[in-house]
Amino acid sequence: MPEYGFPIIFFLIAFFYASVGFGGGSSYLALLSLFLTEFQEIRTLALLLNLIVVSIGTYMFIRNDIFKWRYFWPFLLTSMPLSFLGAQLKLSEKIFFLVLGSALLGASFFLLAQLLQQTKTHRPLKAYKKLIIGSGIGLLSGISGIGGGIFLSPTLNLMGWKDARIVAALSSIFIFCNSLAGLGGLIASDTFRLNMPLTFPLIIAVAAGGTLGSFTSNKKINTRTIKLFTAILIAYVGLRLVLLHGWELYI
């Protein structure tokens, strides 16, 4: 791929994911794995780009008074330490991509189920359930190298917890905190690696895409089509990773 093509594609990914409250780490990981050979370098750069995208979205949610700390703290209390520990687990490259691919296939299923859901009911969620959800997704986030919003958002929407904009705000801050914790775990385990010539243009691209995507989300534009596109995209990426690293099949 030409060098200028990479930032354009990452700009588009950041836009689509930010518009539905995600960071895009799953797709960054998949694309980077096609063009980079250093496994830890791929993981580090994906987490960093994820962090940049959601930091913009988090700021806009706070500015628009959508972020509510009293709703969110239990999710973060357990997710951050487990994300930090998960990032330090010593996995082979093959096992890592199998875990990531399986998680993406699961996330795609939940996104599609959410889109097919007919009725929207708002149900309270007890603190202990938030702690359990945060811990499970936090650990998976640390292991897989993505922020966790791709798992959290459809789960909460299917459970009927709050409206879609509050869930999107939670997903954004959840990804931000878990990405920070994941990067901290990589630093603590001495596996933090960056390809500096590639990093700077991609940072600019995802910052621009994330800003536009967050603006789209906060202006209440219908994101149903974008969510469907996201579900299809991560299903393809997940299936490709499982087939490639499990059976060495290419699609």
Instruction: Print the domain residue range for 198.
Output: 5-247
For residue 188, the model assigns a pLDDT of 94
Count of domains observed in the chain: 1
**pTM of the complete model:** 0.86
For residue 133, the model assigns a pLDDT of 94
Please list the rounded mean pLDDT of every run of 10 residues in the chain (251 residues): 75 80 73 75 85 81 79 92 93 85 86 75 84 94 83 83 80 90 94 86 90 68 70 84 86 72
- H/E/C letters for each residue in the chain? CCCCHHHHHHHHHHHHHHHCCCCCHHHHHHHHHHHCCCHHHHHHHHHHHHHHHHHHHHHHHHHCCCCCHHHHHHHHHHHHHHHHHHCCCCCCHHHHHHHHHHHHHHHHHHHHHHHHCCCCCCCCCCHHHHHHHHHHHHHHHHHHCCCCHHHHHHHHHHHCCCCHHHHHHHHHHHHHHHHHHHHHHHHHCCCCCCCHHHHHHHHHHHHHHHHHHHHHHHCCCCCHHHHHHHHHHHHHHHHHHHHHHHHCCCC
